[in-house]
Chains A and B, each alone.
Chain A
Amino acid sequence: MAQKLDTAQMHKYWTKTSRLMWTIFALWIFFSFVAPLFAVQLNTIKFLGFPLGFYMAAQGSLLAFVVLCVWNAISQNKIDEEFGVQED
């Protein structure tokens, strides 16, 4: 049974949740904006038969997004259980 958290616990819970959010947010920025920033340079490298810059924008970053979403679901569920605020 999930109970209501007191202010201190709520604060702790939200700090942990926010930290996870910001970590994933930073990685999201990296794969969305920073990695493709160097597409011209990366394109000179071959990866699996693809120019790497093209590969990242067409496949690499996309894979990273899927992993980030799965990671978020798993880690946040763990945080919820740690604080006992998961649903019944």
Chain B
Amino acid sequence: MLIRILREYLRPYRGLIVLLVLLQLVGTIASLYLPSLNGRIIDQGVALGDTGYIMRTGGWMLAISFVQIVATIAATYLGAKAAAGLGRDLRASIFARVGDFSAQEVSRFGAPTLISRNTNDVTQVQTVTFMGAAMMVSAPIMMVGGIIMALREDVGLSWLVAVAVPLLALSVALVIRKMIPQFRLMQESVDWVNRVLREQITGIRVVRAFVREEREEARFAEANTQYTGTALAVGRLMAMVFPIVMLIFNASTVAVLWFGAHRVESGQMQIGELTAFMSYLMQILMSVMMATFMSMMIPRATVSAGRIGEVLDTESTVVEPTAPVALPSTEDAVTLDHVEFTYPGADVPVLQDVSLEALPGRTTAIIGSTGAGKSTLLSLIPRLYDVTGGAVRIGGVDVREAALEDVWDRIGLVPQKPYLFTGTVASNLRYGDANATDEDLWEALRIAQAEDFVRAMPDGLDSPIAQGGTNVSGGQRQRLAIARALVANPEIYLFDDSFSALDLSTDARLRAALRPVTRNATVIVVAQRVSTIVDADQIIVLDDGKVVGTGTHDQLLETCPTYVEIVESQRSAEEAA
């Protein structure tokens, strides 16, 4: 997957990369040429006492050093550009892909993991790309070049390269191989320790109420001990790397001197060449080491690339029709026609044979116990999910045949979890209609019973809202979400248990205020409280995914035992009598 992503997303930067490789080649050759010049200084300058030669060659070395730095910096520039570009393009692709997802795909992945795939995982791939451009390109060039140069200096001594390089690569790789599973374990241990702490802080009241401090301490000690154990193991392995590398480097130098001395003695090599050879060997070893360390990043990046690939390869189950049918401009009745819905992977349908008709100007309420499928039913109307059987129609047109924009245009949704966006009260309210005036906003707030507290805020409509709306209370958030839907002035209102966090009198006033503005709209309300829906024109009682009763409050009291049961549970004995 990593390779596929790299191939696909580096394609626009092909030119840059070719240039980068060339520059790395120039830089590497330049840095390899330096020891050879130094060797000549010794053999032809020092040994012969030719100061002029020493100065001239020294000048050359400086010039070549300069070429090297220019080439390397240019290569770094290109590498950074290509990597950052890859990151940007990849992020954009994922973001666009997820934007096309339906609620089904989003809930299958889960928002948190999608977020981290779009951010952290891309960063992983981007970093490995940059490091790769900087080091993994130059390492092989350095190795090949170094070997060639070493061979040029003395073929007879080059077997040392063949011994030292694999020895270094092998021993470093061996340690790393032992380390990788430890790293994974370490991440797990960190997660464990942090999870326990997180639970203790979020659940502090429970811990204290049940007097479980000691138990929590023991639980933490267990996690902490494992973490420390793993960290120790990792740390000790890490402590081995540096001494091993140093030893191999140093031992190689010693070996070059010893075997080189014999070559020099027999006249097959000059002493300057010996010095140059030593430098080459060091350079080769250094690049091998770098490449090995870099390769440590590859497994992590591969995992990230896999996670990214999963997102990119997922197709949305809700697709735009190729030839959309226009929704009738005046007819906004919502009908469900023998609807069935099964969550992917589930055996049992959540909704079975559900039929209902919600008419404009009427309020249709849906009530039922937890897990009866109320929210699922609601989410079928704006095509957050597609039905697995039957059809949902707006104005007689199957929503799957209409353009998505067209469907969404009609609908004002107040979700169960009233999510608000970072910004201000006003920016949130204008979510549905960017051109709404301040008066429109205040009107919506007034209906939603949110006017008082917004007025009480220091900056009124411009008061800041934190991400998710966490800086206002649950009840306030719910009312703002209702106001947001009102500002959009849709033809169809969907309230998903939107009054649950309100106290009873606020609930009552809100519904009273809603009535005139929704006079011509189709209103569908999901609720828990009977009091919220008692005055609805039509109440649908859901039980276990099936409609067990349809009618007004009074009718249902006569005909639907499930409804009676629900009402009973909320009424006091003498009230029901």
User: Is B one of A's binding partners?
Assistant: no
Q: Using a CB–CB distance below 8 Å, which chain B residues touch chain A? A: none
Q: Using a CB–CB distance below 8 Å, which chain A residues touch chain B? A: none
